[in-house]
Structure 1
Amino acid sequence: MDVELARTFLEIMNAGSFLEASERMHVTQTTVTARISSLESKLGVALFVRNRSGAKLTPDGERFVNYATSLVQTWDRARAELKLPSGLETRLCIGGENSLWTPVMVNWVLWIQNHLPNVALHTDVADSEKLIDQLEKNAMDAIIVHRPNYYSGFVVEQLLEEKLIHVQSMDNPKPNLFVDWGAEFRSQYDAALPEPKGAYSFGLGPLALQVMLQQGGNGYFRTRVVKPYLERGLLERVPEAPEFSYPIYLVYRKGSMSSSLEQALDGVRQLAGEDAGWLI
């Protein structure tokens, strides 16, 4: 099937009308209409309902969205593969959750540069939902996340057994700095510590850590991150406070894979067993 038909379908869906889609794609509305008519003829279903307000997906159109997205992304990636610079043999696309960009993603990229010089590399740092969606659509080769999706087409490996521990400033243990480490952590936290979370909450661990180091306070942080501050006597563990599991997982698709991807996965497994300077 012509990829431009799928691309036009997605553009109409995003734009909300045939006219707006034609303007975005710099083609005539007649061309857009002809493409959708051709696509609907090939599929044997109606994809849009057109009215004065624009164009709305039919139930069949909604079901076709994932297929069209996958088709366009696969095609775009294939074109990128064929345009590799001279001397490079293939491309790998890897991703990591926001809180894992350092040191895990940094070290992984450096490892690939040093051990796979003939590989072009694309990386993405995003929330786990986006990364998993990209992996499902074949836009990623492998991702590193805290909350994997046990989809039947995925292989999920635990890389590290990380923990979140309660620490406080040695000079000033107040106030409570609540870091939101995700839905699973919130559930565990509320069950173990049902009291109010306090006046300060953070969506980013490094911000809360810097506030605590400079002004005082207490909160839950990664063991690897606070280890140097505990050793230097700047922080201490809160006595008898519960700790929470926060493991890191490597996720990739089942089935055959390139030798470059196999080597890259071996590399990140090797790095997981080494000590590194965790910053966040």
Structure 2
Amino acid sequence: MDIELARTFLEVMAVGSFCGAAERLHISQTTVTTRLQTLEEKLECQLFTRNRNGARLTADGERFVAHATALVQIWDSAKTEMKLAQGQGSRLRVGAEISLWNPMLSNWVSWLQRNYPKITVNTDVSDANTLLAKLENGFVDAILVHRPRYLPGIMVEQLLEEKLIHVQVPNNSSPNLFVDWGTEFKAQYDATLPQPRQTAMSFNLGPLALHVMLKSGGNGYFRTRVVEEYLRSGQLERVPSSPEFSYPVYLVYKSSTTTSVLDLAFEGLREIASDYKEWQV
């Protein structure tokens, strides 16, 4: 299928009119209309309903959005890769969960820049499900996650064994701060801890919760390497008799996409993972 048909469809959807899409694509409104008619003929369905207020997706149009987006993304990615293949270097597309961008991903990219400056690196920081979907669809080469998905053709390698530990501010241990470290952690927390997490202040970002706790007091579960320096300085202390929870870091990639460049990059990542300098928020 002509990628420009899909691209035009997405522009009409984004601006809500054929006229607006024509302006953004720098083509005539007649061309937009012709492209959409051609696309509807190929798909044998109506994608938009038009009225004086613009264009609105039909039910079939809504179903086609994901397909059109994937087509355009794959084509744009292919063009970028082929342009690079004619040049001097190689490209790596790596991703990490939000909690792993610093220092794991940032240190990895820095290592690549120092040791292999001709390698172009694209980074993607997102939630685990989004990253895993991008990996399966070929939009990234490798990702760093805490909870991998075991599927045929997907390689999973544990890089290090991180832990979540219960800490508090000395003499100022209220309120309870609950950080959502994932489904498994919540199940372990509910089964082990006496205080219900529903009554605590809730966060979906560990660095934010730690910042609040250090500034105003409280207690909560955080990654060992993040709170290590605060434990040494006395700003935080371990909560006595509280359990620890495992929170390992995994490298995930497709077995079919391994290359010499990826192998070099993985060597650097393993070197970084074996370095036990404290992590930072």
TM-score category (smaller protein): 0.7 to 0.9
Offset at residue 222 of structure 1 (A): 0.5
Contact persistence 2:156–2:252 (CA under 8 A): yes
Offset at 1:121?
A: 1.2
Paired with 1:46 and 1:235, the residues of 2 have a C-alpha distance of 62
Task: Give the secondary-structure state (helix, strand or coil) at the position aligned to 1:148.
Answer: coil
Q: How far did residue 108 of structure 1 move?
A: 0.4
Letter in 2 for 1:216: G
8 A Cα contact 1:169 1:234, kept in partner: yes
Q: Is the 8 A contact 2:95 2:131 kept in 1?
A: yes
Amino acid at match of 2:254: R
- C-alpha contact 2:169 2:213 (8 A) present in aligned 1: yes
- CA distance in 2 between counterparts of 1:196 and 1:86 reads 58
Q: Check the 8 A contact 2:13/2:55 in 1, yes or no.
A: no
Q: Is the 8 A contact 2:229 2:278 kept in 1?
A: no
- Residues 169 and 214 of structure 2 are in contact (CA less than 8 Å); yes or no, is this contact kept in structure 1? yes
1:170-249 counterparts in 2 under 5 A? 170-193=170-193, 195-197=195-197, 198=199, 200-249=201-250
| Count, aligned residues | 278
- Provide Cα deviations, 1:56-78, integer angstroms capped at 9, x if missing partner: 2454x555544433332222223
Q: Residue 108 of structure 1 aligns to which amino acid in structure 2?
A: W
Once the two structures are TM-superposed, the CA of residue 112 in structure 1 deviates from its matched residue by: 1.0
1:264 and 2:269 aligned: no
SS in 2 for 1:123: strand
CA contact (8 A) 1:6 1:72 kept: yes
How many angstroms apart in 1 are the aligned matches of 2:13 and 2:154? 29
- Residue 100 (structure 1) shift: 0.9
5+ residue gaps in structure 2?
A: none
Structure 1 residues without counterparts, runs of 5 or longer: none
Runs of 4 or more consecutive aligned structure 1 residues displaced over 6 Å after TM superposition: none
TM-score by length of 2: 0.84
Match of 1:31 in 2: 31
What TM-score results when the alignment is normalised by the length of structure 1? Answer: 0.84
Query: 2: CA distance between counterparts of 1:106 and 1:70?
Result: 28
Percent pairwise identity: 55
1:252 counterpart residue number: 253
**Is 1:180–1:201's contact at 8 Å kept on the other side of the alignment?**
yes
